[in-house]
Amino acid sequence: MKTIKTLLFGLLIIFSLTTTAQEKPFKVDVRGEGKPILLFPGFTCTGEVWDTTIAELSKNYECHVFTFAGFGDVPAIEKPWLPKIKEGVVNYISEKKLENPVLLGHSLGGALALWMATESDSFKELIIVDALPSTGALMMPDFKSEYMVYDSPYNKQTLAMNAVDFDAMVGQMASGMAKDKPYQERIKNWMIQADRETYVYGYTDLLKLDLREDLAKIKIPVTILAATEPYGLEMAKSTYEAQYKALSKYTIEFASGSSHFIMYDQPQWFMENLKNALND
């Protein structure tokens, strides 16, 4: 009887550990040594999007490179997806005892970094790469967060879409996100590899997020590296000024002629401006 109880207790511990591991809303690859930087990728991207960046930064910094649940080979989690990601990152920082980390985020990752900074001033600085505090407001006139619901006709259609149609849709989307074909294919493949429910409901979470007014709470340094395409410099300036007007102080640099993935379109410009932001 004692042996059976011991065996059952052991199985319970294994089950508990396995469940906890499965519920982790991301995986993290740590490279380099020095002051900590958390690198958040964009929607559907894996941490590989930062490979070239990490090759340089890891010489002087401890890089914590995230891949979020439902993307790459990281198992999906239950919705609400984005709030669980944020909570998990905050817990990760506490567990690892990371002091005043820099938050570096692209697209969705930039929005996540902004969200975290509206709730805490425990970060050294934010570096935001082509990201807005309200993606929904960019896409929809008269936007309100409550308009964004999981059970929408568009979400149902996307969930039911067959592989051929989904491939065509994301291929068209990826073609406008980077200049070079190989990078377009990489971005497209990340979208195809993503868990479909995470792709649909996670993006709803992002569209629902509206931080425009909450930006006034951010007091730490913020650097924004912004793309000008597809609408040109003047439209990009107008969009960023409107969305970030509640942020009291920030530095913004525009990558002229670059699409959304600045680190792919203009790697030298990106690295120079990233280093400038960190040195400042």
Is residue 86 a part of any domain in this protein?
Answer: yes
Asked whether residue 18 carries a pLDDT value surpassing 80, the answer given is no
Residue 220: the pLDDT is 97
Q: DSSP characters for 100-163?
A: S-EEEEETHHHHHHHHHHHH---SSEEEEES--S-HHHHHSTT--GGG--SS-HHHHHHHH--H
Residue 155: the pLDDT is 97
Select from 112, 113, 111, 109 the least CA-distant residue to 125.
113
Is residue 15 a part of any domain in this protein?
Answer: no
CA-angle at 247, arms to 144 and 122, nearest 5°: 105
Is residue 2 a part of any domain in this protein?
Answer: no
Mean pLDDT across 139-155 = 91
- Kindly indicate the confidence band of residue 103, based on its pLDDT and cuts at 50, 70 and 90: very high
3-class SS at 82?
helix
Mean pLDDT across 10-16 = 38
Residue 139: the pLDDT is 85
Is residue 207 a part of any domain in this protein?
Answer: yes
Euclidean distance between CA atoms 114 and 111, whole angstroms = 5
Split into its structural domains, the chain has a count of 1
Mean pLDDT across 101-127 = 98
Residue 23: the pLDDT is 65
3-class SS at 151?
coil
Is residue 11 a part of any domain in this protein?
Answer: no
The answer to whether 116 touches 98, Cβ cutoff 8 Å, is no
How confident is the model over 236-274, as pLDDT tens digits? 999 999 999 999 999 999 999 999 999 999 999 999 999
- Residues spanned by the domain of 103: 26-279
Residue 58: the pLDDT is 97
Q: Which residues pair with 18 in a beta bridge?
A: none
CATH code, domain carrying 76: 3.40.50.1820
Of 234 and 9, which is predicted with more confidence? 234
Q: Tell me the one-letter amino acid at 129.
A: V
Residue 142: the pLDDT is 84
Is residue 107 a part of any domain in this protein?
Answer: yes
Could you tell me if residue 18 is left (phi over 0), alpha (psi between -120 and 50 degrees) or otherwise beta?
Answer: alpha
Is residue 227 a part of any domain in this protein?
Answer: yes
Asked whether residue 22 carries a pLDDT value surpassing 80, the answer given is no
Euclidean distance between CA atoms 108 and 153, whole angstroms = 23
Is residue 10 a part of any domain in this protein?
Answer: no
